[in-house]
């Protein structure tokens, strides 16, 4: 059976969006590169320097890591509108000094009227990817704001309105268009409509230029309203009517989403998913994300191998990682979905005996001919019946001086989401994260579309505790189904290969989600290993991957930030220290400032 094929569109987009210089970020306006961070200071790592600066501004005002994360997300909505925003969803993972963990699910939901045939053409076949990925029927009910409000209510220190100030300022005064935003518009912005088209394509044809300044006053007004009135009115009255109206009034394939669908949205606290890997406790997001559980399965299946002894230059180590990825993705594709709708056998999938049996399939000397899902305890009875990821997304991590650590992955899914703009923000296109085909091999699939259900995600905001019980690392990534492999690879880099989070993120990736094959990231040190990997039976091809991870790690009594050199990301701390990433992905030995 074919499992999670690598989307061609994803690979092409990845290539196009790699920044020319690839790795240089500037110093954010107003940020002094002054001195090394001091112990106990706060830090924010985000995909855009202006967003990280907003988070630090909030920390300096006495805000918590939760406050900083919310302010950072709101600024990302302004300056990186292609990737995330209040029209989308998020997963929020938070811990404090006591080690208590909270995970909030702000994933989008399908409208109540959605059925398993949502993405099928009249002939019963899935719609072409382009149609499926854009337009009104790709949008789910947005969950990001509800999740932010739920987190703020419990963990915020500053007033809600204060968190909006940096984003409102940028939206009103204007911000500089990044190369990534310009390229995204040029290559993948054709589907944006209405307000977004007028704003991002002012002459109707050419996208706003890199380095030009644009203002988004309509979005500033929306932010001002939410700052003043809270998140609740977003989900009712005029705001909900405008979302439903934009979707039901769309020219092609209008959506039956109603104001009631929007009004009944609730962010949900979920049970965190944790396991011990060697001496570390690793925790992340549970279903409907497949991220946390699949990362842990990959690691646990590798635990019996001497990954540290093999080291990062060993083709055998990368082969083992690829095999473990394939096995874990087979189970992910079979069993993971919204736990409110399908029975997800979480304890069975993480059961040590089950993982040992899966791990026993991995051989050091030869790639498995084919991979099938396993049968963990609690696997639901499969229902016999008669009758795939896109780029976008952004990740951020923040820590405050009181020991609170927050790590959030937030998304509108594809670039500029559904392309439909309401009140100055983009509505997501998250629903194609459901399986378009409701049945496979004659059985219903767990991740089929259903009314009110949340599509399975790969997003994997993760917190790692050291043997002393203190947070060692908070990490996450964007990049569709590559997210899981990015996190597993970075964790092996830090925990087994003793790398800094920065080097582990920068290191190349082997992405092997299917039963065979996979991708070695082009332009990285791993490409030189291809002949040895082929000798181990690996049929990997070399291709670009559009990856984007961020992390913060606690080393020698201080926070150190890490941002992906493939992106414009940056980490800043409250002492004014900025991590400026200067290396290319395959230059792992150079220093960063």
Q: Which residue is nearest to ligand GLU (CB)?
A: 393
Query: Which one of 217-225, 391-399, 442-450, 487-495 is the stretch in contact with ligand GLU (CB under 6 A)?
Result: 391-399
Q: Give the CA angle between residues 574, 579, 581 to the nearest 5°.
A: 160
Residue 482 structure tokens: 């590559």
The smaller minimum CB distance to ligand GLU, of residues 162 and 433, is found at: 433
Shortest reach from residue 237's CB to ligand GLU, in Å: 28
Q: Specify whether the CB–CB gap between 419 and 193 falls below 8 A.
A: yes
Nearest distance from residue 478's CB to ligand GLU, in Å?
A: 4
Decide: is 408 part of the binding site for ligand GLU (CB under 6 A).
no
Rounded Cα–Cα distance for residues 525 and 287 (Å): 34
Residues 482-511 vs ligand GLU: string with x where CB under 6 A? Answer: -x----------------------------
- 412 is known to lie in a ligand binding site: yes
Contacts of 175 (CB under 8 A, 6+ apart): 50, 78, 79, 213, 214
Q: Which is nearer to ligand GLU, 193 or 482 (CB)?
A: 482
Task: Return the half-sphere exposure (C-beta side, CA atoms, 13 A cut-off) of residue 273.
Answer: 28
Residue pointed to by tokens 């095999």: 323
Site string for ligand GLU, 329-368 (x = CB under 6 A): ----------------------------------------
DSSP 414-434: STTTTS-EETTEEPP--GGGS
> CA–CA separation, 151 vs 461, rounded Å?
15
Nearer to ligand GLU, 9 or 382 (CB): 9
Please report whether residue 550 would count as binding ligand GLU according to CB under 6 A.
no
Grouping H, G, I as helix, E, B as strand and the rest as coil, residue 26 is: coil
Tell me which H or E stretch contains 471: strand 471-478
Alpha-carbon span 494 to 497, nearest angstrom: 6
- Going from the C-alpha of 264 to that of each of 286, 295, 448, 486, the distances in angstroms are 22, 32, 21, 34
Residue 436 sits in the site that holds ligand GLU (CB under 6 A) = no
Contact criterion met (CB below 8 Å) for 164 and 145: no
7 binds ligand GLU (CB under 6 A): no
327 touching ligand GLU, by CB under 6 A: no
- Judged by CB under 6 A, the chain residues 507 through 526 that form the site for ligand GLU are none
On whether 480 is known to bind a ligand per the annotation, the reply is: yes
Instruction: State in angstroms the smallest separation of the CB of 138 from ligand GLU.
Output: 11
Rg (CA), the chain: 22
Q: Is 457 in the site for ligand GLU (CB under 6 A)?
A: yes
Q: CB burial class (10 A; 0-12, 13-18, 19+) of residue 527?
A: middle
Stretch that binds ligand GLU, among 43-51, 227-235, 370-378, 479-487 (CB under 6 A): 479-487
Please, what is the minimum distance in Å from the beta carbon of residue 240 to ligand GLU?
23
Between residues 457 and 524, which has the closer beta carbon with respect to ligand GLU? Answer: 457
Using CB under 6 A as the binding rule, whether residue 390 contacts ligand GLU is answered as yes
DSSP letters spanning 546-571: --EEEEEEEETTEEEEEE-TTSS-EE
Provide, rounded to whole angstroms, the least separation between the CB of residue 456 and ligand GLU. 7
Q: What's the min distance (Å) between Cβ of 511 and ligand GLU?
A: 13
Please report, for residues 60, 88, 199, 422, the alpha-carbon distance to residue 194 in angstroms, rounded to integers and kept in the order given.
38, 18, 9, 8
Q: Does 104 bind ligand GLU (CB under 6 A)?
A: no
Q: Which of 134, 411, 447, 524 is in the footprint of ligand GLU by CB under 6 A?
A: 411
Is residue 475 a contact residue for ligand GLU (CB under 6 A)? Answer: no
458 is in an annotated binding site: yes
Q: Least distance (Å) from ligand GLU to the CB of residue 203?
A: 29
Residue 80 interacts with ligand GLU (CB under 6 A)?
Answer: no
Looking at the Cβ atoms of 430 and 522, the one nearer to ligand GLU is: 430
3-state secondary structure 142-205: CCHHHHHHHHHHHHCCCCHHHHHHHHHHHHHHCEECCHHHHHHHHHHCCCCCHHHHHHHCCCCC
Residues 6+ apart with CB under 8 A from 38: 558, 575
> Which listed range, 60-68, 181-189, 437-445, 453-461, lies at the site for ligand GLU (CB under 6 A)?
453-461
Taking the complex as a whole, the smallest distance from the CB of residue 459 to ligand GLU amounts, in Å, to 5
Of 103, 133, 294, 413, the residue at the interface with ligand GLU (CB under 6 A) is 413
Residue 140 vs 493, nearer CB to ligand GLU: 140
Nearer CB in complex with ligand GLU: 258/428: 428
Nearest residue to 579 via CA among 555, 547, 549, 552: 552
> Does residue 140 belong to the site contacting ligand GLU (CB under 6 A)?
no
Minimum distance, C-beta of residue 386 to ligand GLU, in the bound complex (Å): 30
Cα separation, 261 vs 259, in Å, equals 5
Is the backbone peptide bond immediately before 288 cis, with ω within 30 degrees of 0?
yes
The smaller minimum CB distance to ligand GLU, of residues 371 and 478, is found at 478
Catalytic residue set:
393
Residues annotated in the binding site for L-glutamate, as ranges?
107, 411-413, 433, 457-458, 480
In the complex, which residues of this chain contact ligand GLU (CB under 6 A)? 389-393, 411, 413, 430, 433, 457-459, 478-480, 483
């Amino acid at each position: 059976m074919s499992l999670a094929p690598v989307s061609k569109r994803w690979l092409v987009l990845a290539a196009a969006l790699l920044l020319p210089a690839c790795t240089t970020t500037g110093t954010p306006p107003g940020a002094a590169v002054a001195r090394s961070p001091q112990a106990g200071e706060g830090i924010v790592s985000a995909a855009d320097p202006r967003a990280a600066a907003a988070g630090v501004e909030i920390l300096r005002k006495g805000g918590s890591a939760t406050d900083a994360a919310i302010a950072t997300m709101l600024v990302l909505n302004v300056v990186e509108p292609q990737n995330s925003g209040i029209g989308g969803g998020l997963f929020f993972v938070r811990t404090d000094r006591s080690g208590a963990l909270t995970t909030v699910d702000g994933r989008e939901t399908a409208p109540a009227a959605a059925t398993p045939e949502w993405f099928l053409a009249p002939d019963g076949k899935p719609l072409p990817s382009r149609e499926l990925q854009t337009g009104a029927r790709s949008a789910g009910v947005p969950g990001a704001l509800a999740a932010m409000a739920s987190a703020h209510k419990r963990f915020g220190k500053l007033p809600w309105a204060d968190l909006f100030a940096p984003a409102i300022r940028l939206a009103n005064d204007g911000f500089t268009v990044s190369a990534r935003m310009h390229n995204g518009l040029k290559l993948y912005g054709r589907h944006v409509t209405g307000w977004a088209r007028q704003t991002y394509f002012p002459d109707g044809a050419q996208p706003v230029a890199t380095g030009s300044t644009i203002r988004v006053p309509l979005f500033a007004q929306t932010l001002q309203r939410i700052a003043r009135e809270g998140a609740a009115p977003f989900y009712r009255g005029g705001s909900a009517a405008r979302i439903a109206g934009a979707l039901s009034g769309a020219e092609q394939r209008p959506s039956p989403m109603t104001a009631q669908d929007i009004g009944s949205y609730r962010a949900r606290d979920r049970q965190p998913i944790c396991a011990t890997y060697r001496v570390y406790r690793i925790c992340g997001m549970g279903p409907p994300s497949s991220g946390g559980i699949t990362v842990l399965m990959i690691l646990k299946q590798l635990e019996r191998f001497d990954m540290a002894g093999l080291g990062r230059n060993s083709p055998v180590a990368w082969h083992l990682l690829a095999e473990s990825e394939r096995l874990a993705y087979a189970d992910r594709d079979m069993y993971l979905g919204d736990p409110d709708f399908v029975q997800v056998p979480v304890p069975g999938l993480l059961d040590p005996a089950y993982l040992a049996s899966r791990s026993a399939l991995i051989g050091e000397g030869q790639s498995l001919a084919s991979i099938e899902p396993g049968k963990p305890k609690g696997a639901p009875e499969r229902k016999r019946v008669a009758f795939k990821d896109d780029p976008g997304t952004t990740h951020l991590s923040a820590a405050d001086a009181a020991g609170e650590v927050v790590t959030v992955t937030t998304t509108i899914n594809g670039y500029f989401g559904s392309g439909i703009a309401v009140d100055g923000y983009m509505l997501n296109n998250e629903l194609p994260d459901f399986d378009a085909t409701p049945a496979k091999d004659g059985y219903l699939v767990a991740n089929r579309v259903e009314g009110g259900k949340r599509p399975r995600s790969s997003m994997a905001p993760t917190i790692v505790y050291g043997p002393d019980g203190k947070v060692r690392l908070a990490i996450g990534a964007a990049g569709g189904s590559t997210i899981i492999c990015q996190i597993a690879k970075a964790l092996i880099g830090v925990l087994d290969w003793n790398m800094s989070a920065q080097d582990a993120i920068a290191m190349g990736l082997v992405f092997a989600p299917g039963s065979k094959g996979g991708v070695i990231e082009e332009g990285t040190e791993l490409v030189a290993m291809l002949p040895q990997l082929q000798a181990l039976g690996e049929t990997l091809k070399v291709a670009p991957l559009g990856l984007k991870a961020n992390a913060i790690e606690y080393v020698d009594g201080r926070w150190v930030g890490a941002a992906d050199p493939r992106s414009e990301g940056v980490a800043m701390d409250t002492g004014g220290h900025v991590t400026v990433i200067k290396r290319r992905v395959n230059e792992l030995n150079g220093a960063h400032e």
